[in-house]
Amino acid sequence: MNTCNHQCKKRDIVNCQGKAFGLILAAFLLKLSRRTNLNEPPLAYYRFPIIGHTWSFLKDCDKLILESREKYGETFSLYVYGQIMTIVGKETTHEVLRKDQDFSFLQGFRKTQIPTHLVFKHPTVADKNIIIIRDFVAGKLKHLISRLQKNIINAIDLHIGECVAPKVIRYPRKTVADIIAIPIANIIVGEECYNNEDMLETVKTLTFSLIKLVRIPPILSFIHPWLHQQIITIPIRVGWNPISKHIKVILNCIKPVIEKRLNDKKRLGDAWVAPLDALQIFLDDPKVAPDFNPNNINYDYIVNGIARLIFSAMATTSNGATQVLYALVERKQQYWQELYQEAQEINKQCNGNELTVDDIDRMVKLDSFVKESLRFTSPIVALPHKCISKSYYTFANGYQVPSGRIVSLNLLDTYYDEELQGQNPTEFYAYRHLERNSPVTKLERNFLSFGGGKHACPGRTFAVNEIKIFIHKILLKYDVRTNNEKIESIKRYIGPYLVPITIGLVFENKKKALINI
């Protein structure tokens, strides 16, 4: 009897497994059978049903993209994680970036990366933040530059120190994030609370809290992408939010500051001088702060706006600064001395005083080095845009994609193109952009790290100036090297993204290093 029951259970399990596989296969075949009458880009050949190009996309993305580009042309499609993704090259990239009525980066980012629309409340605050970044952070940079560099210097002293004896920093990415967090917090929440330990910790870690949402491989997307989205967002939809603790920290920090500012403004009237920070921009909005009564403040709106600003600012600036630092150490023999001499000359011209925006603009060699570093460490495929046309969109080359299709940009097609980049585009040459009079903040067809069109990153000028000040101060103060480890020049990827370098760095005070020489 027991043997019979065991065999029955085993048979039931096999039947269930067969039904499950049948459902998955049926769903896959159903998706493939949904042919349209559109002139879609060619779907690159793949050997394995259901899996499609997924394994190649994860393990050999550069090879997959380069070979598909060569075989099918600059516009083609891949089948990755249960959905068709269209890849466009250099000829069509800027068509996607310009046609904001037909392609949405925001919706593409939500669908393929992080569902920010479920994490952050108040969707309209995203538009408010763009105005803040464009008109305040970038528009008033000349007024903010003194605070920016003062805080970078203080942060370097705090997290790296004098280094009279050589100091090994084993996790430079974390140290750079610690440094960059201080000036960013100052500009966003202001002088009164940016040094609060809890606030700084939130600035450093909020982005990583959101990245946890994409750590689950989208296996269920093989059945349908919608199913994966539903599963990973269950915690959010039942009340858990990955940034809830950060929201509380921000609120606790800014609430007493807001109350004091409103009371001071009411008490002093025209004699009151408004602070220069993003927090005050929110308070100047009559819809957010309609009167001098702290009880009528829309704190939830302000807190979510600040959280969004932190998310936007930290990921770009901290990662960029780290990439440039590693690129400088890796190519120390070629470029360090020349960049150091430029830093010295600029330092002499301003008599060792604070840098002005004009001084930073004169760092032309460093500017070109920063741009080349960002170009050289870019993803293979990036900037996913969702087609939001009513039914389909027709590219200038005649290919058509249905509404809802994700269209991603083939950055290799732009960054490895000799016509766009000059000679030997696959090699690192620090001054290729200087020779073309092409600063890093300039939006051009040959550089896509900050996007393009009217939706290009509005904070790129602030981010680049922050990176340049950071590297400028490092050049003047330290000699930096690896601890007898070699930074691999061969790029390694996970999917389309470059594997971050994690080698420790040795910092030694410049004066001490010269004495030792």
3-class secondary structure per residue, 33-91:
HCCCCCCCCCECCCCCCCCCCHHHHHHCHHHHHHHHHHHHCCEEEEEECCEEEEEECCC
- pLDDT of 288 strictly over 60: yes
- pLDDT of 230 strictly over 60: yes
Give the rounded percent of residues in the chain with a pLDDT score beyond 90.
Answer: 64
Give the rounded percent of residues in the chain with a pLDDT score beyond 70.
Answer: 86
- pLDDT of 97 strictly over 50: yes
> CB of 366 within 8 A of CB of 342?
yes
At residue 14, the pLDDT reads: 46
Query: How far is the C-alpha of 202 from the C-alpha of 209, rounded, in Å?
Result: 10
Query: How far is the C-alpha of 385 from the C-alpha of 393, rounded, in Å?
Result: 13
Query: How far is the C-alpha of 397 from the C-alpha of 125, rounded, in Å?
Result: 37
At residue 517, the pLDDT reads: 42
CA-closest candidate to residue 53, choices 75, 78, 73 = 78
Query: How far is the C-alpha of 386 from the C-alpha of 406, rounded, in Å?
Result: 5
- pLDDT of 35 strictly over 70: no
Confidence class for position 349, pLDDT limits 50, 70, 90: very high
Confidence class for position 312, pLDDT limits 50, 70, 90: confident
Q: Is 350 annotated as a binding residue?
A: no
CA-closest candidate to residue 507, choices 194, 200, 41, 157 = 157
Query: How far is the C-alpha of 246 from the C-alpha of 263, rounded, in Å?
Result: 26
Cβ count within 10 A of residue 242:
17
Both tokens assigned to 114: 């992080």
Query: How far is the C-alpha of 88 from the C-alpha of 414, rounded, in Å?
Result: 10
Across the range 266-279, mean pLDDT stands at 92
CA-closest candidate to residue 517, choices 196, 509, 439 = 509
Could you identify the residue written with the tokens 């290093």? 513
Could you identify the residue written with the tokens 């249960």? 82
- pLDDT of 30 strictly over 80: no
Query: How far is the C-alpha of 215 from the C-alpha of 213, rounded, in Å?
Result: 6
- pLDDT of 317 strictly over 60: yes
- pLDDT of 108 strictly over 60: yes
Mind listing the pLDDT tens digit for each residue in 454-489? 888 888 999 999 999 999 999 999 999 998 888 876
At residue 516, the pLDDT reads: 47
At residue 225, the pLDDT reads: 67
348 φ, ψ (degrees, to nearest 5): -70, -40
Across the range 477-505, mean pLDDT stands at 87
Confidence class for position 356, pLDDT limits 50, 70, 90: very high
Confidence class for position 125, pLDDT limits 50, 70, 90: confident
At residue 281, the pLDDT reads: 92
3-class secondary structure per residue, 333-391:
HHHHHHHHHHHHHHHHHCCCCCCCHHHHHCCHHHHHHHHHHHHHCCCCEEEEEEECCCC
Q: What are the structural domain ranges in the chain?
A: 1-34, 35-516
At residue 34, the pLDDT reads: 47
At residue 475, the pLDDT reads: 97
- pLDDT of 285 strictly over 50: yes
Alpha helix segments (H runs only) across 138-224: 141-159, 172-189, 197-211
At residue 66, the pLDDT reads: 96
At residue 3, the pLDDT reads: 52
More confident residue, 356 or 8: 356
CA dihedral 330, 334, 335, 340 (to 10 degrees): 110
Cβ count within 10 A of residue 38:
15
- pLDDT of 209 strictly over 80: yes
The C-alpha angle with vertex 303 and arms to 298 and 309, in degrees rounded to 5, equals 130
| pTM beyond cutoff 0.85 | yes
- pLDDT of 113 strictly over 90: no
Both tokens assigned to 29: 């075949």
Cβ count within 10 A of residue 395:
20
Mind listing the pLDDT tens digit for each residue in 231-256? 666 666 666 778 899 999 999 999 99
Could you identify the residue written with the tokens 């048979």? 11
Confidence class for position 224, pLDDT limits 50, 70, 90: low
439 φ, ψ (degrees, to nearest 5): -65, 160
- Its CATH class, for the domain covering 35-516, is mainly alpha
Cβ count within 10 A of residue 324:
24
Across the range 267-271, mean pLDDT stands at 91
More confident residue, 117 or 436: 436
